[in-house]
Chain A
């Protein structure tokens, strides 16, 4: 894993100007998201119970998660889909290590780290604007929630990539994913009840942005249930197990495209 990371860092060092430009773009993106928040609270006091500092935290979390997905998850799954199509997955399967582990760590998009930094800063500023001080347990729960969120997204992506064993032309799956992810920009409490329910249990998007932000704030006004961490742990474990089983099931259907 470190080896793969080192290669991509070296790759980045070769294109420093590009890194700089992208860093600026990532900052511009964050600025645009902050402008959206500013526009909302220029017109209203609360958005389904969420106030300006709450929303700042949510924007920060959204940016961090979107960044994290682009650092590790999307690039690796993109490569899996490519390998399935071209039949080069054979080389992965021949190696004497767990195939799921290997396909999940081959790529690493270093420059997206900027998203984690900017997002983290925005979340920290939002949290500190609420006069209440934030304890170590709260931060620990928040980190735990983020980790659970990433585990869920990872499982979703592994499942999406596995579909590639049956339907070869699924490059556009990425677009479907970002389409749905878009709904996580705002707290799920703004949606009608049935959409909220589906975003919590069917497509567990609530666990990826709204609930982590809510646990950092620990403010009942946000409407995030206090038991969210327990749900998150449960859903994360179930989804990781399910997707891993699905991957192994999919592998049985793989017969190589080059043969």
Chain B
């Protein structure tokens, strides 16, 4: 643990340097995180005009502006992409030097994950402001909701990161991970409250979202931050469910990591 505490800041420094080196590419990456929620916001606010009482799942046009504003932030801060690049690392044998280090390769990936979020903030934050300026949402969030919402956001980020990394371990068995990555991302989109708020989903998707962790990654933090959850007890219970999911995924990770490393044979030695 103590060498982890010494190594991690160094990792983080290196990752931030690397991110700044590739800032052009990273900005484009980040742009998608802005375009997609914005398009969906416009679509839903157009859809409210066709709904009987101008509301969808209890949200009017302003409600959707608030919802998607927080989704911009939550989407950015919970981003994880190991499921996309793990197969590359395995295939190219780039994981081998990382495995030789006396520290889990995951910490290296986590540091670049955090570095991405820190360095792109300079770009993303002004875009969030532009979103507010154009959509002019009026916020109803109370202080306790903002506070608990931030905890929910942290737990959501941890959950997405851990699950994404755990699913990425499939790369040790098959080098074709693209399909797995697409499905993982697609499920987060459909069931995580990104394509639509969970309450607006048709029943079959709502049931599916109950049993899967995706809504606890994105939808729950957004709903708390947007002030859509009034019941303190329900919010606290939600935080506990998030924490339980994180612990479950960490447990699964530890077991599958053990199996994966045993299985590991780099393609190019």
Contacts and interface: CB of A to CB of B under 8 A. Distances in A.
Interface in B28-55: 28-29, 31-32, 35-36, 39, 42-43, 46-52
Nearest to A25: B179
B9 interface: no
Contacts of A172: 24-25, 28
B182 interface: yes
Most buried by B among A169, A178, A182, A189: A182
A189 B49 CA distance: 13
A144 B226 CA distance: 46
B179 A39 contact: no
A21 B176 contact: yes
A44 B39 contact: no
B46 A48 contact: yes
Interface string B183-199: 10010011000011000
26 contacts: A21-B179, A25-B179, A25-B182, A28-B182, A32-B190, A35-B205, A36-B190, A36-B196, A39-B201, A40-B47, A40-B196, A42-B202, A48-B46, A172-B28, A175-B31, A175-B32, A179-B28, A179-B32, A179-B35, A182-B32, A182-B36, A182-B39, A183-B35, A189-B46, A190-B42, A190-B46
How big is the B interface, by class? 20 to 34
A86 interface: no
Contact of A39 (B46, B49, B182, B205): B205
A47 B50 contact: yes
A154 interface: no
B247 interface: no
Contact of A175 (B29, B46, B47, B205): B29
B168 interface: no
A45 B190 contact: no
A192 B195 CA distance: 20
Q: Is the interface of A mostly helix, strand, loop or mixed?
A: helix
A43 B189 CA distance: 18
A180 B39 CA distance: 10
Nearest to A181: B35
B205 A44 contact: no
A185 interface: yes
B151 interface: no
B240 interface: no
B217 interface: no
A46 interface: yes
Interface of A: 21, 25, 28-29, 32, 35-36, 38-40, 42-48, 169, 172, 175-176, 178-180, 182-183, 185-186, 189-192, 195
Contacts of A180: 35
Contacts of A44: 47-48, 50-51, 56
Given A35-B205, A42-B200, 8 more contacts: A28-B186, A29-B182, A36-B190, A45-B51, A176-B28, A178-B32, A182-B36, A183-B39
Interface in B103-133: none
Nearest to B24: A172
Contacts of B50: 44-48
A53 to B, nearest CB: 15
Most buried by B among A38, A44, A180, A190: A44
A43 B47 contact: yes
Most buried by B among A43, A169, A178: A43
Interface string B10-23: 00000000000000
A40 B43 contact: yes
Contacts of B32: 175, 178-179, 182
Contacts of B195: 36, 39
B57 interface: yes
A42 B196 CA distance: 11
